[in-house]
Structure 1
Amino acid sequence: MVIRYELTGMDLGEVRFAVSPLTELTLSLRSFRDPGRYPLHLPWLHEVRSVRADLDAGALTSLTNDRLWTPDLLTPRPASPLTRVEEQFETLAAADPRRLAAELAELHGGDVPAALTGSPAVVLRRVVRALREYWQACFTPHWPRLRALLEADVAHRARETVQHGSARMFAELTHGVRLVDNVVEVRLRSPVTYTRTTAGDGLTLVPSVFCRGVSAPISAAEPPFLMYGARGVGTLWQRAAAPAGTALVDLLGRTRAELLTDLADPASSTELAARRGTTVSAVNQHLRVLRASGLLVSARTGRSVVYRRTDLGDGLVGRRSPAG
């Protein structure tokens, strides 16, 4: 099925990117329901397994169905890349409880699990409380890393738009999305088809580490936005290399020493930023200095620039190069 968003007039210039903490939180519940579909997140799932025992599992697992759909109310269109989860929780708590009840009924084909039946107001309060506790237990320790990867993706897409145009940027978001004239076509597996204009609303693009393809609101009444899989998720839960040695830190400074140590295997600045929980622009500044010093070389692979250590870089870290 196909959703079409018609970008009219200046709306082509109103395509914006944003990050939604609540969307990430909600979509992550799908990995708990069917972890086999999300193998890249298994390290995280193992790490949070012990704290999940104290959460409201009944409410949380009832927020997805066998098709791994979730209520639109819990995946809101964010206002900006700087949206805070607490703001989204406050908005959710103030929502019309009847809307959540209707979306849950649609989600489960009228057979809503017992954990989320009863007074709509009581159900909404339980959902908000369960999600807050879930965020605190499972997301708070990891959110800086997640946010860094999402913001790196936003920066990459913005550069692609400026350098190569909107059509190419949309085509590279994910399979099933394309821009034809001023119409964004989104092909979904769900039985949803509608066409709506983005006039007055614009179109918001939301990267996600828990979205494997592309997703969009199932209702044409929802503000236009797309959720798509962010780049670099395969590196998200990789452990950083061992801390750089004292002598190397004294020579290069801690950040550059750690980046050089991280590059035991070639990686892009996006991957390095995600591992270190920092921005791509900050990482790029250090990589340029390391490259100018002869400690790294770089090569373009597809749309990414990949960095690797030189023999000199290997020698400083204390490891032999593959050729040696």
Structure 2
Amino acid sequence: MGIWRIGADVLVCSRFTVSPLAQTMAALTALHKGRADPGRQAWLREHLPAYRDRLAGDRVEELLVWAALRPRWLADFMITPPRDDDRTFHDELRRVSETPAEVAAADLATAIGAPLPPELRVPDLPGRAAALLEWIWTHTVLPEWPRLRRVFEADIVSRTGRLSTGGWAAALDGMRPGLRWLGDGRLQINTYDNPPRDIPANARLSFIPVTTAHGWVTWDLPDRYAVIYPCTGLLADAPTSPAPPVAVSALIGPARADILTRLSEPRSTTQLVALTGQSLGSVGGHLKILLAAHLIHRRRSGRSVLYYRSPLGDRLLKPE
């Protein structure tokens, strides 16, 4: 199995963070496969035709995506861990475009396990990759980025809360298939039969949520590593909910009424952030008030806390 051996200093300095480039790569992967995870079907239907039209008119881009996105390997130069001073998508994208052409070609050859097709032996390969990623970002990610960022940040708060109470085993529990904390400084990153990798003592390790079912790992040797994992707030389609009664909105406020309406079935705080578009702090505050008013209940399910309407909440929304 694939194991990273990680020292205590690396763990202390590790961080959960958001990466626009990682989400862009997740979007590209979904478009390339032509399938999306639960909760992303409408997004896929909206953007897949334009994506296919773009690649149909550019043989280099078509082969680039084929070579870069392999079943068990991604071309390293297209997705590296974010740096501490990155502030925007273009901060991360710049490293893609500035990759030496020979490095990009070597990464793609490693990914496909064979020499590059003649069409990919072009000097501006990194620039072509960056242009495609920028198109994916602009057309398919940026329009929903404010909402996605709130959902990712809510997931990070949940994970770091588990870390503070249950350690790394709790924080990484259920993060992605094949990944688990083994203890004694050993992180299993997948079930592949690869030799263990010793992470340098000065390395920075990041954990990054995205909209994908499986995730991946990436690095920028020798000292930056990242685990890309599925965000738990996006595991279910967002069904349409009826608008709360006007009288209820006037009584408890429209934001709390919206949350109450959506709790006909149990949902986590992270899912409510995704569904309502409200911030994590706002959702948490509204849940606290709804709990105090006995309009909702909560229960634990594994590592998550789920909220759902109480009989009193049901009667408030459906008065007889």
Q: Shorter chain as normaliser: what TM range?
A: 0.7 to 0.9
Give the C-alpha shift of residue 79 in structure 1: 3.1
Residue-by-residue CA offset, 1:115-134 (whole Å, 9 max, x unaligned)? 64311xx2222221121111
Note the alpha carbon deviations across 1:159-199, whole angstroms, 9 max, x for none.
1111112233234434432242123232343x643422331
User: How many correspondences in the alignment?
Assistant: 314
Deviations 1:181-235 (A, max 9, x none): 123232343x6434223311232122222151x5223786462222222223223
Q: Aligned residue for 1:193?
A: 195
TM-score, reference length from structure 2: 0.85
- The SS at the match of 2:255 is helix
* 8 Å CA contact 2:5, 2:198 repeated in 1: yes
More off after superposition, 252-261 vs 47-56: 47-56
Aligned residue number for residue 208 of structure 1: 210
Q: Distance in 2 between matches of 1:80 and 1:244?
A: 43
Measure how far apart 1:149 and its partner are. Answer: 2.3
Residues 245-264 of structure 1: pairs in structure 2 closer than 5 A = 245-264=245-264
User: What is aligned with 2:167?
Assistant: 165
Other-structure match for 2:31? 32
Worse-superposed segment, 130-139 or 36-45: 36-45
The answer as to whether partners of 2:272 and 2:283 remain within 8 angstroms in 1 is yes
Change (3 A) 1:183 1:206: same
For 2:275, the equivalent position in structure 1 comes to: 275
Give TM-score, length-normalised by structure 1. Answer: 0.84
1:234 corresponds in structure 2 to 235
Please tell me whether residue 103 in structure 1 is matched to residue 104 in structure 2.
Answer: no
CA distance in 1, matches of 2:98, 2:52: 28
Mapped to 2, the partners of 1:42 and 1:81 lie a distance apart of 34
* Partner-residue secondary structure (3-state), 1:141: helix
- Which sits farther off after the overlay, 68-77 or 37-46? 37-46
CA contact (8 A) 1:4 1:196 kept: yes
Alignment match, 1:19: 18
The question of 1:292 aligning with 2:295 is answered: no
SS in 1 for 2:26: helix
Which among 61, 66, 69 is matched to residue 62 of structure 1? 66
Structure 2: runs of 5+ lacking an equivalent: none
Moved more, 292-301 or 55-64: 55-64
Give the structure 2 partner of residue 46 of structure 1: 45
Q: 2:76 matched to 1:72?
A: yes
Task: Name the SS for the 1:206 alignment partner.
Answer: strand
- Letter aligned with residue 229 of structure 2: Y
C-alpha distance 163-25 of structure 1, shift in aligned 2 (>3 A):
same
Aligned identity (percent) is: 25
Q: Secondary structure at the match of 1:186?
A: strand
Check if 1:87 corresponds to 2:91.
yes
The offset of 1:158, in angstroms, is: 0.6
Q: Deviation of residue 286 (structure 1)? A: 0.3
**Other-structure match for 1:180:** 183
Equivalent residue for 2:136?
Answer: 134
* Cα distance in 2 for residues equivalent to 1:180 and 1:238: 37
Over aligned residue pairs, what C-alpha RMSD do you find?
2.8
